[in-house]
Chains A and B, each alone.
Chain A
Amino acid sequence: DVKVTQSSRYLVKRTGEKVFLECVQDMDHENMFWYRQDPGLGLRLIYFSYDVKMKEKGDIPEGYSVSREKKERFSLILESASTNQTSMYLCASSFGESGQLYEQYFGPGTRLTVT
């Protein structure tokens, strides 16, 4: 069974704090993704990584950065949290170049509240 785990289910931070969200997958997937999920807006891609130390911006990268030092771990960083970053954050992973086997596997999500 594919497992994508996220470090926290719920997190409360203050405005201006630096926030780290961690994601780990155990399937040796090449690709990893960070999304935020907001009511009425669906899932929006923040960043993704297709290899260790490689990253690409998604649709809404502003205010976020990422780090991928090891294949199984992908971190999302909020350098200075703001209230408009209150959201559910989802991590996902997939094999690269997998043809018809392509599928993204999701973690349980981290609900971040910035006060």
Chain B
Amino acid sequence: AQSVSQHNHHVILSEAASLELGCNYSYGGTVNLFWYVQYPGQHLQLLLKYFSGDPLVKGIKGFEAEFIKSKFSFNLRKPSVQWSDTAEYFCAARHFGNEKLTFGTGTRLTIIP
């Protein structure tokens, strides 16, 4: 079965630290990858997505992610986090052309001022 793994369940960082959240998927074939964020009390919203082309994808709020096909990974990065980045982050994947997404279990990020 298709699956998405996020091994970091809760990450705590100080402001200005660098961030990397792991995401691995188990799909074969052409895959589309997404990172969503859920700020406290708010809707899930899209941070960035990868479909094809440049494996380094830039998203909103200074986030980026790198698609590494050989490692089945799509890790999320930010060079310097802010207190406002405190949120839950979800990685998701789908086979190209499939209308359904499979989500990981999420990573809760806490930024200490």
Q: Which residues of A contact B (CB under 8 A)?
A: 4, 31, 33, 35, 40-45, 48, 50, 58, 90, 92, 94, 96, 99-100, 102-104, 106-109
What is the CB-to-nearest-CB distance from B72 to chain A, in angstroms, rounded to a whole number? 18
What is the CB-to-nearest-CB distance from B24 to chain A, in angstroms, rounded to a whole number?
A: 14
Distance of B20 from chain A, by nearest CB (Å): 19
Task: Report the count of interface residues on B (CB-CB < 8 A).
Answer: 24
Residues of chain A within 8 A (CB-CB) of B34 are 103
B94-113 interface with A by 8 A CB criterion: 94, 99-106
In the complex, which residue of chain B has the Cβ closest to the Cβ of A107? B43
Q: List residues of chain A with CB within 8 A of the CB of B83.
A: none
Known: A31-B99, A48-B100, A94-B99. A43 touches B90 (CB 8 A): yes
> Are A50 and B99 CB-contacts (below 8 A) given A42-B90, A42-B104, A102-B32?
yes
Given contacts A43-B90, A106-B43, contact A100 B99 (CB under 8 A): no
Our count of residue pairs bridging A and B at CB distance below 8 angstroms stands at: 49
Q: Is B16 part of the contact surface with A, judged by Cβ < 8 Å?
A: no
Contact of B105 among A31, A41, A102 (CB under 8 A): A41
Q: Does B45 contact A (CB under 8 A)?
A: yes
A-B contact pairs, 10 of them (CB 8 A): A42-B106, A43-B103, A44-B103, A58-B100, A94-B99, A100-B51, A102-B94, A103-B46, A106-B45, A109-B43
Residue of B at shortest CB range from A56? Answer: B100
- Chain B positions within 8 Å of A106 at CB level: 36, 43-45
Are B49 and A103 in contact (CB-based, < 8 A)?
yes
Shortest Cβ gap from A96 to chain B (Å): 6
- A99–B51 CA distance with the chains assembled, in angstroms: 9
> How long is the Cα–Cα vector from A92 to B103 in the complex, in angstroms?
13
Query: Given A42-B104, A107-B43, 19 other A-B contacts at CB below 8 A?
Result: A35-B103, A42-B90, A42-B103, A43-B92, A43-B106, A44-B103, A45-B101, A45-B102, A48-B100, A90-B44, A94-B99, A96-B99, A102-B49, A102-B94, A103-B49, A104-B101, A106-B36, A106-B45, A109-B43
Distance between Cα atoms of A50 and B43 in the complex (Å) = 22
Contact of A108 among B43, B49, B101, B106 (CB under 8 A): B43
